[in-house]
Structure 1
Amino acid sequence: MLLDVIIKLLYIIKNNYFTIIILTIVSYVINYYIQYFTRQSKLPGPLPIPIFGNLFQIGEDLVAAVDKFHGKYGDLYEFYVGNKRNVVISRPDLAEKVWGTTSIKNTKFIMRTSYSVGVDELGLGTKGIVLNRNIESWNINRKFFIQSTSTPSFLREAIKLSSKINDEIFEYWKIMEKEGIIVKFSEWMNALGTDIVVTTATGKRMSSTADLFNGLNIEGKKSEIKGIWKNGLKFTESIYVYNESMMFMMLFSPFIRRNIPGIKSINKKFLNNRDWINNELETIVHEKRKEIENTPLDQPVESTILNLLITTNTERDLNKISIGKFDRPLTDDEITSILREVFTGGLDTTSNTLSFVTFYIAKHRNVYLKMRDEVLKVYGTLENPNLTFESYEKLKYIEAVIYESIRVFPTLSFMARAAVEDVEFDGYIIKADTTVYTNLKILSNNPKYFKNPEIFNPDRFLNDKESMEKFSFLPFGYGARMCPGKVWAMVQMKTFLVKLVSTFDIDLVDKNSEIKYKYATANRPVNVDLYIKTRK
C-alpha cells in the first residue's frame, strides 16, 4: 500500500517525525481519492473530502442540501457523510424498486437504513420498529403497534379524547381572541400532539396545552387542568431531542462524534438524553404493570396503548391481538421499545403536518370554506358536530386537503431504506446495505407528475387521484415498512380540522409569507402565526 511504502522510506532516509506526519496525511488523502475515482458504479454527486465527506456542503439543513444537489446532479446521485455513501433517488420508477413490494420475503429493501453504530448506541438497531434491523423482532413489534392503534374501539376512544382536548384548546383561543393575542400555531400543535399521544398511550393526563395557556399570564385567566405525569413536560422535550438525535447518530461516524470538539458535546447530550428516556419509560411500564396486576379481573382497565400491550396474551387480554405463533405476553423491555416508538413517531410528524396544513388553508380561504361545507354536509351542523369513527370515511375533501399539504411540503422530505443485496439503478450497482433516500419533496413537486405543482389544489386528490403516476406520491411510505401509525394519525388530524373549521375563522398574521421551517429529522414549521376569530 502507498502509505506503508512512504513511511518506510521516511524512516530509512531521515527520522523526521513532523515530515512523517505531514506525508502520512498527504498519502492518506491521495489514497482516498484514488479509491474514490477508480471505484466502479460511482454516481454523479458532490466531491467529498476525507473524514468529513460532504458535510461542509450540507450544513445544518439536509433538506435544502439534497434539493440543491438534485438541481445539479439529477434524479440519481450520491453524497457522503464521513466515509459513508448515501444514494438519493427522485423518480417514480426508481422509487418503485425501493417501495413497490409489500411482501417481507420478496422485498430487497427491508432495512430502514444501512448499519449504523450510532443507531445501535441509541438502542434502536435491534428494538422497536423504525430502525430495527432484526426482522423477526421488527415484524412482531410492528404488528402489535398496528393492531393496537387501528382497532375501531381504540380509534373511537382516541376521537373522544382528541375532541375533548381540542375543545379545551379552543376555549383558551377564545380568551386569547378577546385579548388580541396572536396564536403561535406550531407551539400549540406541539402541545396538542403531546397531550393526545401521551394521554392516549399511557392513560396519564398531560397538561401541555394548559401549561402553554397559563404561560401567557392573562390576568384572571388560568386553566385548572393539571397533569398527573410528574416528569411529563421534561419527557416531551426529551422526545423531541431524541428525534433530532436519530439523524445525527446515523450520519456522523463514531470517530467524528467522539473526537471533534463541539460535535463531541452534542453526542454526549444525545446519549444522556437516551438514558433518561429509557429510565422514565421503564418506570412507567413497571408501575402500570403492577397497577393492572392489582386490579381484580372483573374490573375493566382503560383501552390505552400501554394497557393493551401489557395485557396481550394474558388472562385479561383486552383486544385478543394475534401475531402468528407468538402467544406469550410481552416483556417490559419489548413494551418499552414499542411505547418509545409511539412517542417518537407520533409527537413530531402529526403535529408538524397539522401546522403545514393550517398554514395552507389559512392562505386559501376558498379551501377553508369548502372544508366547512363538507363538515356541514356530513354532520348536518357546525355546532358541536357528533364525531364518529364511521363518519370519518365521508370526509373526502378534508382528507384531500391533508394529502395536498403533504404533497406541497412533506413533514418528512425524504425517507431512507437499505437493501439486503446489491441493486441496479440505471446501470449503476448500489451495494447492499447502502442507505437509499427517496426525495419525496422533489417527487411530489415535479411538473412531470403533478400539473402546476406550485398551486395548492386539494381537488387533484379527488379528480385526478386515479391518474397519478404510481410512486410519485408516498405520504406514508409504501410496502412492508410503510408508516404503521397512518390510521391513528389521520384520525387525529381529521378530528382537529373538523373542530377548527366549525369553530373559527383564521388569518395569517403575514398573509404574504411563505412557509419557513427548521430541519430536525422532521420539518418543523416556525412561522405559522394566526389571528383567530370565533365563527359567527
Structure 2
Amino acid sequence: MAGKRLIVLCSIDLIKNMNISSTKTKYPFRNIHFEGSAEYGLQGLASNNDPKSWKYKRQFYTQAMMTPSFNYQAVEWTNELWNEMESCWNNLGENYELDLIKWMHRFSNEIIFRISTGVKNDTVISYYKNIDHENNIIVLNEKEREKVEESENFIQSIDTFFKGIVYFVIFNRFMRHYIPFIRGKVKGLLKNRDYLYNKVYEIIKKRRIEIENTPLDQPLRHDMLTSHITANTKRDINPVKHADDDLLRPMTDEEIFGSIIDSMGAGTITTANFFCFIVYYLGRYPEK
C-alpha cells in the first residue's frame, strides 16, 4: 500500500535464518525503512538502519542492563511499586471490580519509566486517586487534580504515540498531508508527539544539570538515563566497556532521547498485556 511492497515469509527455515542473533547474519536489518520515521521523530534502535549508529546505541542497552547495581535497583523499585499498587487495591475493597489491564498499563508504564529515567511519575497512585474521586470517596484539591490529569495525559500520550506509528508506515507523505481525514489525524499525532518529546527532553536536561552539580565523590543512582548521560565521561557509572574504541564517545541528548523512547515503547504495553494473559490463563486453567 502507498508504494510499499511487502514479502511475507511462511517458511520456518527462512524466518529462523533471518532472526538468528549471530553478528554474521546476512540479514542485519529486519525492519522496513520508511520515510515517515524522520517526520515522526523515530531515532532510537527500532527504526535505525545505520549499522554504525545501531551498534553505538545498542552498546548502552547492554551496558546498562548487564550491570548488577542496575538490576538490583530495578527489582527494588518493582517490589516497591507492586506493594503500592496492592495497597491501593486493598483500600478499594474486595467488592470493587478491578480493570486489570488499566492497572497493569499504569504499573508497567511507571516502572519502565522509572527504570529508564529514574523519575517516579506516580501513574499508579494517580489512577487510584482518580477512581476515588469519581466515586466521591475523596475530594481532590486543585493541585491534586492537576497532578492526576497530568499523569493520565502522559500515559495516554505514550499510548497514542506508539499507536500512531502505523500512520507513518502505511501512508506516504502526500497522503499524510493532503487526504482530509488522514491529514487531520496526522496533525493530532504530531501535536501529541511534540507534547511527549518535550516532556522527555525536559527530564534529560534536568538530569544532566543534577549530575553536573553532584560532587565527584558522591555516587549516582543506577538508571538508564544516568548511565547514558555519564557514558564515556569522568562520571561514568559503568567502568567496564563492551565496545570498540571508535564507539567510546559520550551520547548526545538526541541519542539518549531515542533510547528512552524505545525503552518505553518496547515494554509498557507488551509487559502489561503479558501479565494479564498470565493471570487469565491461571484463572481459566488452574489445574495446569
TM superposition score normalised by structure 1:
0.49
* 1:336 equivalent in structure 2: 257
Q: Contact 2:157–2:192 (CA<8 Å) still a contact in 1?
A: yes
* 1:273 equivalent in structure 2: 192
- Does 2:244 match 1:324? yes
Instruction: State the alpha-carbon separation in 2 of the partners of residues 250 and 334 from structure 1.
Output: 22
Q: How many angstroms does 1:247 deviate by? A: 2.1
1:72-471 to 2 correspondences below 5 Å: 81-100=1-20, 102-103=22-23, 106-124=24-42, 127-178=43-94, 180-217=95-132, 231-322=150-241, 323-325=243-245, 326-367=247-288
Q: How many angstroms does 1:163 deviate by? A: 0.6
Q: How many angstroms does 1:94 deviate by? A: 2.0
Q: How many angstroms does 1:231 deviate by? A: 5.0
Q: Which amino acid aligns with 1:112?
A: R
Relative distance call for 1:329 and 1:356 in structure 2 (3 A) is same
Q: How many angstroms does 1:301 deviate by? A: 1.6
Q: Which amino acid aligns with 1:265?
A: G
Instruction: State the alpha-carbon separation in 2 of the partners of residues 194 and 276 from structure 1.
Output: 17
Relative distance call for 1:291 and 1:248 in structure 2 (3 A) is same
- SS of 2:114's equivalent in the other structure is helix
Instruction: State the alpha-carbon separation in 2 of the partners of residues 203 and 228 from structure 1.
Output: 19
Q: Contact 2:106–2:155 (CA<8 Å) still a contact in 1?
A: no
Q: Which amino acid aligns with 1:348?
A: I
Q: How many angstroms does 1:228 deviate by? A: 8.7
Instruction: State the alpha-carbon separation in 1 of the partners of residues 240 and 44 from structure 2.
Output: 18
Instruction: State the alpha-carbon separation in 1 of the partners of residues 65 and 153 from structure 2.
Output: 25
Q: Contact 2:129–2:148 (CA<8 Å) still a contact in 1?
A: no
- SS of 1:343's equivalent in the other structure is helix
Q: How many angstroms does 1:90 deviate by? A: 2.9
Q: Contact 1:119–1:249 (CA<8 Å) still a contact in 2?
A: yes
Q: Which amino acid aligns with 1:315?
A: K
- SS of 1:320's equivalent in the other structure is coil
**For structure 1, which segment, 269-278 or 346-355, has the greater mean C-alpha deviation from structure 2 after superposition?**
269-278
Relative distance call for 1:229 and 1:214 in structure 2 (3 A) is closer
Q: Contact 1:112–1:130 (CA<8 Å) still a contact in 2?
A: no
Instruction: State the alpha-carbon separation in 2 of the partners of residues 281 and 230 from structure 1.
Output: 17
Between structures 1 and 2, the one with greater helix share: 2
Q: Contact 2:44–2:258 (CA<8 Å) still a contact in 1?
A: yes
Q: Which amino acid aligns with 1:209?
A: V
Relative distance call for 1:137 and 1:232 in structure 2 (3 A) is farther
Q: Contact 2:127–2:148 (CA<8 Å) still a contact in 1?
A: no
Q: How many angstroms does 1:113 deviate by? A: 2.4
Give per-residue Cα distances to partners, 1:363-414, cap 9 Å, x unaligned. 11224xxxxxxxxxxxxxxxxxxxxxxxxxxxxxxxxxxxxxxxxxxxxxxx
Q: Contact 1:205–1:229 (CA<8 Å) still a contact in 2?
A: no
* C-alpha RMSD over aligned residues: 2.4
Instruction: State the alpha-carbon separation in 1 of the partners of residues 71 and 139 from structure 2.
Output: 31
Q: How many angstroms does 1:152 deviate by? A: 2.1
Instruction: State the alpha-carbon separation in 1 of the partners of residues 116 and 69 from structure 2.
Output: 14
Give per-residue Cα distances to partners, 1:213-261, cap 9 Å, x unaligned. 11222565799xx899995543322221111122221112222222222
Q: Which amino acid aligns with 1:173?
A: W
Relative distance call for 1:176 and 1:222 in structure 2 (3 A) is farther
Q: Which amino acid aligns with 1:137?
A: S
Relative distance call for 1:187 and 1:136 in structure 2 (3 A) is same
- SS of 2:209's equivalent in the other structure is helix
Q: Contact 1:312–1:321 (CA<8 Å) still a contact in 2?
A: no
Instruction: State the alpha-carbon separation in 1 of the partners of residues 271 and 240 from structure 2.
Output: 25
Q: Contact 1:213–1:222 (CA<8 Å) still a contact in 2?
A: no
- Determine which structure has greater relative contact order: mean sequence separation of CA pairs < 8 Å that are 6+ residues apart, divided by chain length: 2
Q: Contact 1:242–1:270 (CA<8 Å) still a contact in 2?
A: yes
Relative distance call for 1:101 and 1:365 in structure 2 (3 A) is closer
Instruction: State the alpha-carbon separation in 2 of the partners of residues 293 and 266 from structure 1.
Output: 41
Q: How many angstroms does 1:205 deviate by? A: 1.3
Instruction: State the alpha-carbon separation in 2 of the partners of residues 93 and 196 from structure 1.
Output: 37
Aligned residues with identical type, % of pairs? 28
Between structures 1 and 2, the one with greater strand share: 1
Give per-residue Cα distances to partners, 1:54-91, cap 9 Å, x unaligned. xxxxxxxxxxxxxxxxxxxxxxxxxxx22311122233
Q: Contact 2:123–2:152 (CA<8 Å) still a contact in 1?
A: yes
Give per-residue Cα distances to partners, 1:345-374, cap 9 Å, x unaligned. 12122112112222211211224xxxxxxx
Q: Contact 1:312–1:318 (CA<8 Å) still a contact in 2?
A: yes
Relative distance call for 1:235 and 1:291 in structure 2 (3 A) is same
Q: Which amino acid aligns with 1:184?
A: D
Q: Which amino acid aligns with 2:9?
A: I
Instruction: State the alpha-carbon separation in 2 of the partners of residues 364 and 123 from structure 1.
Output: 43
Give per-residue Cα distances to partners, 1:443-485, cap 9 Å, x unaligned. xxxxxxxxxxxxxxxxxxxxxxxxxxxxxxxxxxxxxxxxxxx
Relative distance call for 1:184 and 1:209 in structure 2 (3 A) is same
Q: Which amino acid aligns with 1:313?
A: N
Relative distance call for 1:333 and 1:195 in structure 2 (3 A) is same
Indicate the structure (1 or 2) with the bigger Cα radius of gyration: 1
Aligned residues: 280
